[in-house]
Amino acid sequence: MNKKNKLWLFITITIIAAGLSLSGCASLKLEELERDTVEGPRQVGQGQDINPRDITVYGYYGDGSRKRVNISSSNITFNKDATGNQTVRVRVSGHEVSFQTQVMALTAIRVSAPPSKISYVQGEALNLSGLRVTGTWQSLPEADIGVTMNDVSGYNPNTLGSQRITITKYGRTATFNVTVTEPPHPLVGTWVIYEGPEGEWLYIFNNDRTGSIYSSDLTATPPKSSSTSFTWTTSGNILTVMLAGVTVRSTYSISGNTLTGRNINPDGSTAEPFTMTRR
């Protein structure tokens, strides 16, 4: 076969294939929705969406066939917030059918699972992830109901202590509790003054403003260690440690994992600087 004949054969096959494709598209085109046989749930809970699988709609296609039409949530329109009789409209490819349903009032809600996060540091935003709220409707089974931040009240990120959070849906309420605590002070943790083959000397600062000094002497026989408790406060860049009736004041600053300080002498002068490293 010469090149000219091959070219005509290719063009012919392409045109036939395109024609078949267009013919197939035309046969799959939805021409009309069947109005008399549309079915959907006769009742739905207030605030609940209708599951597309619960709606049956048949349509007529370009090839003359009658088939069940696939429905998605975007095809369904009704007012799920208003109770009473509602017209549910189903619109597909420019064609529309409808059926009647009754939106049943929400009678109660309860927290079936609290949020995953219920402990917060002062200033943190409320997180509803993991929260499950179950709704109750007359004549319908219980089901989860969606909750957004607009449904929640009672949280103040700056108020320390336990807080009761209220969820309100269509006038029905449920609650759960969270706790807000102070952010940890930058000093909180374990700081190393010395650590080596001869032993170690550590300062441990707790968030409740208590602490301890731990030291070990590996050169002693046998090796020995000791721990002494203290309390502490800060004001600006001044650290005050109360230890066995003695008060020690120091200036301090923290950069990354390093603390640099100077003890303050009784006359107000400062001693040589010392450093500690966060463990």
Q: What percent of the chain has pLDDT over 90?
A: 82
Residue 26 lies in a domain: no
Do 74 and 145 belong to one domain? no
CB 180, CB 154: distance < 8 Å: no
Q: State residue 1's pLDDT score.
A: 57
Question: What value does the CA radius of gyration of the chain take, rounded to a whole number of Å?
Answer: 37
Domain count within the chain: 3
Residue 165 lies in a domain: yes
DSSP state of 149: G
Angle, alpha carbons 225-226-231 (nearest 5°): 150
Residue 200 lies in a domain: yes
Q: In terms of residue numbers, what domain contains 246?
A: 189-278
Q: Which of 81, 104, 127 is a domain's end point?
A: 104
List average pLDDT for each run of 10 residues in the chain, which is 279 residues long. 51 47 64 95 96 96 94 96 96 96 97 97 96 96 96 97 98 98 91 89 93 91 92 95 94 95 93 93
* Global model pTM greater than 0.75: no
CB 104, CB 137: distance < 8 Å: yes
Residue 154 lies in a domain: yes
CB 250, CB 264: distance < 8 Å: yes
Q: Which of 181, 198, 214 is a domain's end point?
A: 181
DSSP codes of every residue in 210-270: EEEEEEEETTSSS-EEEEEEEEEEEETTEEEEEETTEEEEEEEEEETTEEEEEEEPTTS-E
| CATH assignment of the domain containing 141 | 2.60.40.3630
Q: Which of 181, 214, 230 is a domain's end point?
A: 181
Q: State residue 225's pLDDT score.
A: 92
164-189: string of b/e by CB count within 10 Å (b at 16+)? ebebebeebebebebebeeeeeebeb
Do 93 and 123 belong to one domain? no
Do 154 and 89 belong to one domain? no
Do 193 and 272 belong to one domain? yes
Residue 2 lies in a domain: no
Q: The tokens 């429905």 sit on which residue?
A: 71
Q: State residue 15's pLDDT score.
A: 45
Residue 271 lies in a domain: yes
